[in-house]
Amino acid sequence: MSAPVLNYRTRGWLRMSVEKQDTLLKMAVLSLAAILSFSCRLFSVLRFESVIHEFDPYFNYRTTKFLAEEGFYNFHNWFDDRAWYPLGRIIGGTIYPGLMVTSAAIYHILNLVNITIDVRNVCVFLAPLFSSLTTLVTYHLAKELKGPGAGLVAAVMIAIVPGYISRSVAGSYDNEGIAIFCMLLTYYMWIKAVKTGTLFWSTMASLAYFYMVSSWGGYVFLINIIPLHVLTLMITGRFSHRVYVAYSTLYVIGTILSMQISFVGFQPVSTSEHMGAFGVFGLCQIHAFVDYVRSRLNKIQFEVLFRAVISTVAVTGILVLVVLTAMGKIAPWTGRFYSLLDPSYAKNNIPIIASVSEHQPTAWSSFYFDLQMLTFMFPVGLYFCFTKLTDENIFIILYGVLSIYFAGVMVRLMLVLAPVMCILSGIAVSSMLSTYMKQIDDVKTEKKKAKFEGNYFMRSEIATFFVCVMSVFLVMYTLHCTWVTSEAYSSPSIVLSARGHDGSRIIFDDFREAYYWLRHNTPEDAKVMSWWDYGYQITAMANRTILVDNNTWNNTHISRVGQAMASTEDKAYEIMRELDVDYVLVIFGGLTGYSSDDINKFLWMVRIGGSTEKGGHIKEHDYYTPAGEFRVDKEGSPTLLNCLMYKMCYYRFGQVYTEGG
C-alpha cells in the first residue's frame, strides 16, 4: 500500500489529513519493524546455508517432515521404533504438535498455490516469520496498554532484542520460536477481554491459549499469570463483571481445549501447576455470588454469613487439597517447576535437569548482553504503569515482575522476559519522549508563553539534550543488538566456524560428515550408542536407531548409557550387549580444539550414570585425582583413564600431530 503513496509523495503528502499521515507513519514504522525482525535473523543462512540448528530443531524437523508426508492421524499415532531402543517412543503423545502443524500447514498452503518449497526451508524460515508476527502483536499489546506511540517503540525494540533473537534465528526451528508469538497473542486477547468484558474476546483469548498450549510447555507460565492477574484485581477491589466474564470463559474453554493436546492430557485438572487457575476460577464464582448476596442482604446479616462461609470453605479446601495430594490424585510438583522456585533444587536432586546448560541460573552479565538498555528502561516503564493504574497495567506489572524472577532462575526463561522488557521500555521511552518533545515544540511555537511560565530553567535546551541522549541510547541499542545477533546467536552449532591465523573463516563440518558416514557405512538397522545430546541429530541425519535422545523422558535408560560410558571396557561390553549396541559415537574435540566435546560432558555421564540403582558402583570422586582435579593426562585417576569414554576418545591420539604438537 505504500507504493501509490510514494508516487504522489511530492504533492500528496501535504494534502493528506493528519489522521492519514498518522496511519501512514504507523504502517511504515510497523512494516519496517516487521521486515527488520525477519531480516536480521538471517545472518546464519547467509553465512552458512539454509540449515537446521542445534539439537532439538532436528527432531522438530524430522517430525514435521513426517507430518507433511503422512498426514495428521499417522503423526498422532506415530510410534517411533528408531529412538530409545528398545523402548521406543510414542511421538504423537509426547510432543507439543503446534509447531509441526503450523509448518505443515504453511507447506501445504504454499504448495497448493504452486509455490514449491521444501519442508526444510519452511522450517528454517518459520521462526523469523513468526518473529515478524510477534512484532505486530507487540505493537497491539502495547497500544492497548499505553498508546500507539508506546506500541511502535515496543515493536521496534522487540524486533531486534537479542534475548528473543537467540531462540528465533533462521534455522532455530524450536517450539519457542512460535510460542512467544502465541503468548503475546494470548495476552493481547486477554487484555482486550478484560477491557471489553465480551464473550468474543475471551473466546479469542482461549483459542490463542489453545495455540500456545499446543506449541510449548511454557504455557504453564501463562495459565498461572492470568489467574494471578484476576486474583490481584479481586484483592485490589477491581473485580468486575468484565473480569468475571473474561476469566470464566477463558478458563472453561481454555482448559477443555488444552486437554485435547494428548501430551497435556489430564494435567490441567490434576497437577499442582494448574491448581492456581482452578482455585481462582472457583474464587471468581464465589466473589460474584457474594456480590449478588450482598446486594440482597443488609450489612450485618451479610457480615455473619460471610465469615461463617469463608472459614468453612477455607478449612475444607485445604483439607481436600492435602488429602488428594497424599492419595496421589494430584501429582506432586514436577522437578522442572521446583527448580523455578528453588534454583538449587535441580542441582541437588536431578542431575539430568542440572546437566542442561540452559537450566542454569542466569548470570548478571547476560541480562545486559541480552537486553542492553531495556534493563534500565524496565523500572522506568514500571513507574509509568504505577502512575496510572488500570486493569491492564496491573497485568503488565505482574508479568514483568514475575518473569524477571524466573529469568534469574533459569537462563532459558530470558525468552519470556524479553517481550515484557520491550513493552515496558516502549512505554517508558514513548512516555518520556512525548513529554520532552512537546516541550521542544512548545518553546519553538510559543516562545512568549514559555517565558511567563518560567518555572523551568532552560526548558527547551534540557528537552533537546534529553531527546538527543535518548536517541543515542536507541542507536547504541540497535548497534548492540546487531552485533550480538551477528556474533553470538547466528552460529548453527552443527557447523562450526573459527578464525584462522590470517583472519579467514574456517568451517568445520565434522558433525554432518560423521552422521553421513553412519548413514552410508552402517547397516540399516544398526543401533548407535551415544550421549543423549546427539540423539535427535543421529536419527534425523544418519537415520539410525539410537538408544537415548534429547527427549530425556527415561532417566534409567540414559543412566544405563552413562554407566556404559563410565565403566571399564569389559563392564561396558556387557551393558552394550544387553542393549544390542552395534556402534558407539563419541565426539572428541582434542584435535580441533572444540571445547564442548564428550570429555567435557563426561562428568555428567558419571553423575547421571551413578544416580540409579544399577550404577551404584560409579562414584564421581573416583574420576578425580587425589587432589580433586579432573585431569585427562597421565596423572588423571586410573578409573577415568580406563573407562570406555576415555579409551575411545584418546584411541591412538598419541600418533596424531595437532597444532599444539
Partner 1 sequence: EHCQQPVVVMLRLVLLMVCVTSALGAHTLVLVDTLATRETHSIFLKSLQERGHEVSVKAADDPSLQLSRYGEYIYQNLVILAPGVEEFGGALSVETIVEFVDGGGSVLVAGSRDAADLIRELVTEVGVEMDEEGAAVIDHLHYDANDDGQHTLIASPSAGLIESEVMVGPRDAVPLLYRGTGLITDADNPLVLPVLRAPSTAYCYNPTQAITDYPHATGQNMLLVAALQARNNARVIVSGSLEFFSDAFIMASVQTPQGAFYERSGNGKVVEALSRWVFMEEGVLRVASVKHHLQGESEPPSAYTIKQDVEYKIKIERLEDGVWKPFLANDLQLEFVRIDPFVRLTMTPHPNGVFSVNFKVPDVYGVYQFKVEYNRVGFTRLFSTTQVSVRPFTHRQYERFIECAYPYYASAFSMMVGVFLFSLVFLHHKDSPPKHKSE
Closest to partner 1 by CB, 8 vs 72, is 72
| Minimum gap (Å) between residue 252 Cβ and partner 1 | 12
- Minimum Å distance from CB 572 to partner 1? 16
Q: In this complex, which beta carbon is closest to partner 1, that of residue 91 or of residue 194?
A: 91
In the complex, the smallest distance separating the C-beta of residue 230 from partner 1, rounded to whole angstroms, is 23
Q: How far is the CB of 88 from partner 1 (least distance, A)?
A: 5
Q: Do residues 127 and 174 make contact, with C-beta atoms less than 8 angstroms apart?
A: yes
* Per-residue 3-state assignment (H helix, E strand, C coil) for 238-258: CCCHHHHHHHHHHHHHHHHHH
Q: Is the peptide bond before 227 cis (omega within 30 degrees of 0)?
A: no
Q: Per-residue b/e over 599-614, b at no fewer than 16 CB within 10 Å?
A: bebbbbbbbbbbbbee
Nearer to partner 1, 83 or 418 (CB): 83
- Residue 642 sits at φ, ψ, to 5 deg, of -105, 0
Q: CA neighbours within 13 Å on the CB side: how many for 11?
A: 3
* First and final C-alpha spacing in the chain: 63
Q: Is the dihedral of CA 445, 447, 453, 457 positive or negative?
A: positive
Residues 531/598, Cβ–Cβ less than 8 Å: yes
Beta bridge partners of 568: 643
Output the nine-digit C-alpha cell for 262.
494428548
40 DSSP 8-state letter: T
411 versus 546: smaller Cβ distance to partner 1: 546
Angle, helices 175-196 vs 199-215, to 10°: value is 160
CB of 539 to partner 1, least distance (A): 9
Q: Write down the least CB distance from residue 260 to partner 1, Å.
A: 12
Quote the CA–CA distance of 470 and 428 in Å, as a whole number.
Answer: 11
User: Are the CB atoms for 51 and 173 separated by under 8 Å?
Assistant: no
- Looking at the DSSP bridge assignments, the partners of residue 506 are 498
CB of 237 vs partner 1, minimal distance in Å: 28
Cβ-based nearer residue to partner 1, 75 or 399: 75
The least distance separating partner 1 from the CB of residue 69, rounded to whole angstroms, comes to 7
Least Å from the CB of residue 512 to partner 1: 20
Between residues 102 and 545, which has the closer beta carbon with respect to partner 1?
545
Q: Are 549 and 84 in contact (CB under 8 A)?
A: yes
The closest alpha carbon to 191, from 224, 219, 229, 228, belongs to 229
Asked if residue 100 lies in contact with residue 119, where contact means CB atoms within 8 angstroms, the answer is no
Cβ distance to partner 1 smaller for residue 66 or 602: 66
Instruction: Specify the residue, 295 or 504, whose C-beta has the smaller distance to partner 1.
Output: 295
Cβ 278 to partner 1 shortest distance, Å:
18
Residues near partner 1, by CB under 8 A: 65-66, 69-70, 73-74, 76-82, 85-88, 90, 524-525, 543, 545, 578-580
In angstroms, rounded to a whole number, what is the distance separating the alpha carbons of residues 171 and 490? Answer: 9
CB closer to partner 1 out of 26 and 76: 76
Residue 78 or 406: the one with the smaller Cβ distance to partner 1 is 78
Question: Could you tell me the smallest distance in angstroms from the CB atom of residue 72 to partner 1?
Answer: 11
Judged by CB, which is closer to partner 1: 87, or 389?
87
Q: Cβ of 346: how many Cβ atoms within 10 Å?
A: 23
